[in-house]
Structure 1
Amino acid sequence: MDGGSSLNLIYEDTVRKMGIDSSRIKPSTTTFKGVITGIEAHCTGTVTLEVVYGSPRNFISEELIFDIVPFGSGCHTVLGRTSSARLNAIPHYAYLKLKMPGPNSVITINGNTECSLQTEEQTTNFASEVHASEEATHGGKHTTSSSKRTRAVQVDLGHIPPHPK
C-alpha cells in the first residue's frame, strides 16, 4: 500500500506469472517517478482485475485498474491511496496491518515482517543496479547524487519467494 501515490501498480513479471491474457491489457501513456529516485518509469499498459479481501464468510470484492510497471519487484502489486479510500481501508505500516470494513465484521490483512524486509532488500538492490546502469549509460552525468550510492549487485527477481504462513 502506497499512501503517497494514487496509482495501483502491478509488475510485468506478476502479470506474466498470473497468465493474464494479453487481450485484457489496454494501452497506457502513464509515466511516474518515485519508485526509483530520479528515474522516470513508463507503464506498458493497464489491466482491470477483481481483488478480493477477507475470508469466505466475510469478504469484499472490488474491480481495480492496475498500471503495469516494466520491471520486477519483490512484491506483486502496490495499491495506491485512491484504492484504500474506496475500500475505507486503514493501513498501519508499523504493524504491517490493513483494516477495512467487511459485510459482517472488520477485515484485517496481516503482513509478514520477514517477507517485507526481504522485499525491501531486493528493491534496494534493484534501485542500485538501475542507478549504476543509468550512470554508465550517461557517462556519470546523472542528475541524482551518486556520492552515497551503494555498489550495484546483480539481482534475480525472476523468483519471488512464497509468502510464509
Structure 2
Amino acid sequence: MGQHTPSLVLYTRQYSRPTGASFHGIVPGKQAIPLGQIDLSVTFRGPSNYRTEALTFKVVGFHGTYHATLGRPCYVKFMAVPNYTYLKLKMPGPGGVITVGTSFQRAYECDVECCDHAAAIIASGELAALREEVTEEAPDLNRSTGSFEPAEGSKEVLIDSSSSEGKGVRIGTTLSSK
C-alpha cells in the first residue's frame, strides 16, 4: 500500500532496538518474531492543522502488502476514531477535527494487492508447510470447548458480598505484592 520508501528500511535497521514481543495472526497459525522496534514521528494532515506523535513500530523480516500498519496504539495516541464504512480516520487537531481518508478505488487496489500476495504464497508452497506446522500445534480437541479451566494457584473472590447473585472473580495467588 502506498509508495515503498527504501530510506525508511535502512533507517530502521540502523536504529532499531530489540523487542521480546511476538505477533500472532499475521502469518496464519504461527507467531512472527520481529527483528526489532523503532520509534518514528508520525504526522497527520497539513501545515495549518496537524498532529505529530511518536509511535513505536515493530520491524519484521517478511514480505507483505503493507509497509506499515496503524492500529489501536496509534488510535489511542492520536485519540483517533476509524470509520471503516467511509474509509475515514478522524482525530482532534489544534485547528479542529483532522479527517484522513482514501478512495474506494484505492481501497480496492489494496485488496487486489493483498489477494495477489496471498495467491503468491499459496503458489510457492509456503501454505502447505504452514498447514503442517498448524496441524502439529493444533489444540487438544478432546478438551471441552466453552469451559473455563482456572489456573493453578488462584482463588475465587466475591465482587459484591452483599449481592445474592454470588458473582465473583478468580485472582492468582502467586502474584507478587506489587
Q: Say whether the fold is shared (TM-score over 0.5).
A: yes
1:45 CA displacement = 1.0
Asked whether the equivalents of residues 28 and 46 of structure 1 are also in contact (C-alpha less than 8 Å), the reply is yes
Matched, 1:71 2:62: yes
* Structure 1: unaligned runs, 5 residues or longer: 1-12, 145-165
Equivalent residues in 2 for 1:16-35, closer than 5 Å: 16-18=6-8, 19-20=10-11, 22-35=13-26
Q: After the TM superposition, which residues 13-162 of structure 1 pair with which residues of structure 2 at under 5 Å, given as runs?
A: 16-18=6-8, 19-20=10-11, 22-130=13-121, 132-135=125-128, 137=129, 141-143=132-134
TM superposition score normalised by structure 1: 0.67
- 4+ aligned runs moved over 6 Å, structure 1: none
TM-superposition CA deviations, 1:16-72 (whole Å, max 9, x none): 442416331112232112123223211111111000112100011101110012223
Name whichever of 113-122 and 97-106 sits farther off: 113-122
Q: Which runs of 5+ in 2 are unaligned?
A: 136-178
> How many residue pairs were aligned?
130
| Aligned counterparts of 2:87 and 2:63: Cα–Cα separation in 1 | 22
> CA, structure 1 residues 17+120, in 2 after alignment: closer, same or farther (shift >3 Å)?
farther
In the alignment, is the contact (CA less than 8 A) between 2:65 and 2:117 conserved in 1? no
Query: Cα distance 1:69–1:123, how it changes in 2: closer, same or farther (>3 A)?
Result: farther
- Supply the RMSD in Å over aligned alpha carbons: 2.5
Letter of the 1:133 counterpart: E
| Deviation larger for 34-43 or 82-91 | 34-43
Q: Which has the larger radius of gyration?
A: 2
Q: Percentage identity across aligned positions?
A: 28
**Gap change, CA 1:84 and 1:62, over 3 Å in 2:** same
Q: Relative to 1, partners in 2 of residues 1:112 and 1:17: Cα closer, same or farther, differing over 3 Å?
A: farther
- Give the 3 Å change call, closer, same or farther, for CA 21–96 of structure 1 in structure 2: closer
Indicate how the Cα distance of structure 1 residues 17 and 116 shifts in structure 2: closer, same or farther if over 3 A, else same: farther
Report the TM-score when normalising by structure 2.
Answer: 0.62
Residue 46 of structure 1 aligns to which amino acid in structure 2? Q
